Amino acid sequence: MNTSNKNACSLCAHLDGEFRGTAIIAIIAAIACIIGAIILPESMGGKNALPEYCQLALVVVGAIFAFSANNNKTFYKFVFWVMVLIFLREINYGRTLPCFADPDNPEKFKKWKDIPYGWLAHPLIGLYIASLLAFFIWKKLYLTTWELLKTARIPVWETAILVLAAVIAQVTERMFHSGCVEEFFELTFYTAFICLLWRFTRGHYKTLPEATEK
């Protein structure tokens, strides 16, 4: 067997094509989001619209899954704090909450420089991210990450939907400037991500045979 065939076989061994309930959830979410992106008005892509609230709800669910993981607890505690950061980022660290919107224009919000002590926002965010990185290194979570990458078989369906949704969301935002399509595909991304997170935090994923033997 030549090197290219060996590499192909090694890659295939890391993939899990089994069709599970989480794949069904991800596919239903993707279909629903495609329909929503087609038939709903562009205003659904605005700040504080329904898709964004749904995204926030999924991030909260993901944080709960990570916090209550029954394996690799330290690693998933790190994931929990990353989910907290994602939640804060989705609401622009509180700056774009509905209560801070311009009364005459719900899509308009003050910039940090126009908010009292707003200049503290970016240093505090940077400190939070630096703390996460320090924790990741201190607890040697890069070893856990590498072990998962080496031994786990990646669920194909959920991962494919996650990747496609991320790509389409970025393309529509940058090339077509469609906030509605972007938000709905971000919603699909989060749904697929939560499905994967549930499987991994509950140990419902397959490992390579050699990893099981160890």
What are the boundaries of each domain within the chain?
A: 25-209
Instruction: Tell me which of 5 and 91 has the higher pLDDT.
Output: 91
Give the model confidence (pLDDT) of 84-99 as tens digits. Answer: 999 999 888 877 777 6
* pLDDT number for residue 196: 95
SS3 40: coil
Q: What is the pLDDT confidence band of residue 119, given thresholds at 50, 70 and 90?
A: confident
Q: Which two tokens stand for residue 12?
A: 């295939």
Distance CA 176, CA 159 (A): 25
Q: What is the pLDDT confidence band of residue 191, given thresholds at 50, 70 and 90?
A: very high
Distance CA 151, CA 14 (A): 8
Q: Which two tokens stand for residue 101?
A: 């919107």
By CB neighbour count within 10 A (0-12 exposed, 13-18 middle, 19+ buried), where does 133 fall?
A: exposed
Give the model confidence (pLDDT) of 39-78 as tens digits. Answer: 887 777 777 788 888 999 999 999 999 999 988 999 999 9
Query: Which of 68, 41, 36 is closest to 55 using CA atoms?
Result: 36
* pLDDT number for residue 62: 95
Give the model confidence (pLDDT) of 131-152 as tens digits. Answer: 999 999 999 999 999 998 888 8
Single pTM value for the model? 0.85
In 139-208, which ranges are continuous DSSP H helix?
141-151, 156-171, 179-201
Q: Which residues pair with 19 in a beta bridge?
A: none
SS3 17: coil
* pLDDT number for residue 214: 47
